[in-house]
Amino acid sequence: MDLVFRNCINASSFSSENHRNVHPRSKISHSTSQRRNRWSPIRVSSLAAASTAENSRNGTATATRTNRSIASTTENDNKASLRLLGKSSAALEQLDIERGVCVPFRKYSPETVRNKVLESRASIVSLMLRGVEIVWNLGLYWSALMYDCLVGRDKEVVPYRARQLRNLLCDLGPSFIKAGQVLANRPDIIREDYMNELCILQDDVPPFPNQVAFKIIEEELGQPLEAVFTKISSQTIAAASLGQVYRATLRDTGEDVAIKVQRPEIEPIIYRDLFLFRTLASFLNGISLQKLGCNAELIVDEFGEKLLEELDYTLEARNIEDFLENFKDDPTVKIPLVYRNLSGSRVLVMEWIDGIRCTNPQAIKEAGIDVNGFLTVGVSAALRQLLEFGLFHGDPHPGNIFAMRDGRIAYVDFGNVAVLSQQNKQILIDAVVHAVNEDYVEMANDFTRLGFLASGTDVSPSFQLWKQFGRIQLERTF
């Protein structure tokens, strides 16, 4: 894409308080090590004991917080709020136990979301209007699907309905776009034609205006764009649920960089959506536990936790530094450098990745890249993240992975990064060993310990299928 000089917006002056401090590279390893200690995994048994002790103090602590926030309510209302907060805390503790890790600093909690969306009458009205908007639009779409089934044309209009669903999710905003991205990677849930359409949401969402994006960049930089960049692309390189990306050239060094800009006024919308999602999940939780064996509230909690983490680009910058440290001696993996002095909570400036996005496999072949070798590199990088580092990319869809022309694999978008406990790392290693040895009984036990299978599930009918699949993979390998 051609790059053009940016001269369409008058530069605004900002105080020196808006400048971001530069973090010297010499301090990165120290800050990374501190962060790892903060997020260090612990065993489930220890966490369960800590959770039990915390629950014994939960009533007093929660009462103190609640009485400060809703002093004007009646005693009965206070008691109801206490029960709700206690239930929310217990759900998050259960989520930590299932992960096998402890998260001491949370950006998300159900009570935080509730307080934000119910803090004023205007907020409550906005929440009600948002609920009506969601129900109305989804209801119309569902009615159209039912009508197609009644008249017997449901198969004929699938491509149209798939595009309609994608456009509907875009119209409903970032939370629904993110949900569509998740469904695009779940062929076990959604049919292929719908899945292919939802894949477009991974990097081709309608962008917001350049004027708005450039103003946000200037606010984060604290100076005009012309003072930092010699040129910036006239169109977005990619646009997704939470932000969009431009290509630019640094004035000081002449290096090409990618500028990731967050969508404006996105946080209130996400908080309202999360509150509505969790309210619905509380009604459906009994059914989901009985029929599907999963906790609907925990699913929403984990979705909300990751979504709010992705809104903080300073956290993403630290994630990139962690990955740089982990793969610093691996010549097969490329992690972009991050420019901390030019980044903030809404803007992230990174090294430009000159590769081929994996959403275009034909272009990878045409570039002469050894596809089998590239896949081997990708598998090796993924296994190192899971089994060696315990820190892995949480959103590795094809739009976030590039094939470099020298055969390396490159990752982008580190907003969603997950931590694996030492115990779960060991279980995964056991599962790999059992798969190689064709010990499928023990491998099934490993999957149960990881929570992939419900306890008591009869997996014996799958043993023969697993054995055939394993032999096919060995034949392909050798």
Q: Which residues are catalytic?
A: 395
**b/e map 116-138, b = 16+ CB within 10 Å:** bbeeeeebeeebeebbeebeeee
CB 186 within 8 A of CB 210: no
Contacts of 199 (CB under 8 A, 6+ apart): 184, 359, 397, 398, 399
| E strand map for 268-336 | 333-334
- Distance, CA of 96 to CA of 113 (rounded, Å): 19
113: nearest Cα among 242, 301, 295, 264: 301
- Distance, CA of 404 to CA of 373 (rounded, Å): 12
**Helix-, strand-, coil-residue percentages of the chain, each rounded to 5:** 60, 10, 30
Which secondary-structure segment (H or E) carries 113?
helix 110-117
For strand 229-233 and strand 3-4, is the pairing parallel, antiparallel, or unpaired? Answer: antiparallel
CB 374 within 8 A of CB 409: yes
CB 306 within 8 A of CB 241: no
**Cα angle 393, 395, 399; round to 5:** 115
- Distance, CA of 413 to CA of 400 (rounded, Å): 6
- Distance, CA of 445 to CA of 427 (rounded, Å): 10
Tokens for 100, please give them.
Answer: 């096998």
Tokens for 399, please give them.
Answer: 């739009």
CB 369 within 8 A of CB 379: no
In three state form, how does the secondary structure of 374-440 look?
A: HHHHHHHHHHHHHHHHCEEECCCCHHHEEECCCCCEEECCCCCEEECCHHHHHHHHHHHHHHHCCCH
Tokens for 320, please give them.
Answer: 């990139």
